[in-house]
């Protein structure tokens, strides 16, 4: 658990201010609650913080597609969601946050059978132009967004 918290902390130091001036402190509260074993698994979020779009030409498109989803957090169960909502109340200046409950699976879903097959030059699939650093976050995107959609 400590290794997971350390990895999460290092991944969250940049780009947090777009989610509100208190996001760093909110994430520290989440870390502390995780250390105290109050969460069954460390919540993942904001989701946008785990996403990278290497090609500049696609960044605005991806941001528009995922816009309302980027500040969201994924929690492992309903008890974790309730605890995270209570923690969030301490930070009224954060952007609105959606809390998504989904049982955590640390292995990336195999969606190869469900992906649109495209010929060279037809375009790109959303899932292919993004890099998502956490399998739980990617699985959440697969569940809630059309990741195999043609851009």
Q: What is the pLDDT of residues 32-78, one digit of tens each?
A: 999 999 999 999 999 999 999 999 999 999 999 998 899 999 999 99
Cα 84 to Cα 77, 112, 119, distances in angstroms:
11, 33, 44
For residue 23, the enclosing domain spans 2-144
Does residue 69 lie in a domain region? yes
Cis geometry, peptide bond prior to residue 112 (ω within 30 degrees of 0): no
In this prediction, residue 145 carries a pLDDT of 82
Q: Is 46 left (phi over 0), alpha (psi -120 to 50) or beta?
A: beta
Provide the domain count of the chain: 1
Other C-beta atoms lying within 10 Å of the C-beta of residue 43: 24
Rounded to two decimals, what is the model's pTM?
A: 0.80
What 3-state DSSP class applies to 2?
helix
Does residue 133 lie in a domain region? yes
The top-scoring range by mean pLDDT among 13-17, 132-136, 147-151 is 132-136
- CATH code for the domain of 19: 1.20.1060
Does residue 149 lie in a domain region? no
Give the C-alpha separation, 100 to 80, whole Å: 10
Does residue 90 lie in a domain region? yes
pLDDT band at 97 (very low <50, low <70, confident <90, very high): very high
Does residue 150 lie in a domain region? no
């Amino acid at each position: 658990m400590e290794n997971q918290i350390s990895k999460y902390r290092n991944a969250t130091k940049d780009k947090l201010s777009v989610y509100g001036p208190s996001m760093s402190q909110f994430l520290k509260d989440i870390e502390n609650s995780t250390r105290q074993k109050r969460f069954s698994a460390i919540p993942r979020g904001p989701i946008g913080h785990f996403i990278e779009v290497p090609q500049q030409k696609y960044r605005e498109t991806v941001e528009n597609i995922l816009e309302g989803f980027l500040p969201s957090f994924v929690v492992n169960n309903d008890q974790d969601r309730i605890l995270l909502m209570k923690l969030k109340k301490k930070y009224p200046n954060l952007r609105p946050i959606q809390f998504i409950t989904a049982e955590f699976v640390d292995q990336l879903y195999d969606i190869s059978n469900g992906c649109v097959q495209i010929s060279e030059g037809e375009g790109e699939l959303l899932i292919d132009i993004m890099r998502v650093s956490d399998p739980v976050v990617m699985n959440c995107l697969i569940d809630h967004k059309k990741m195999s959609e043609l851009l």
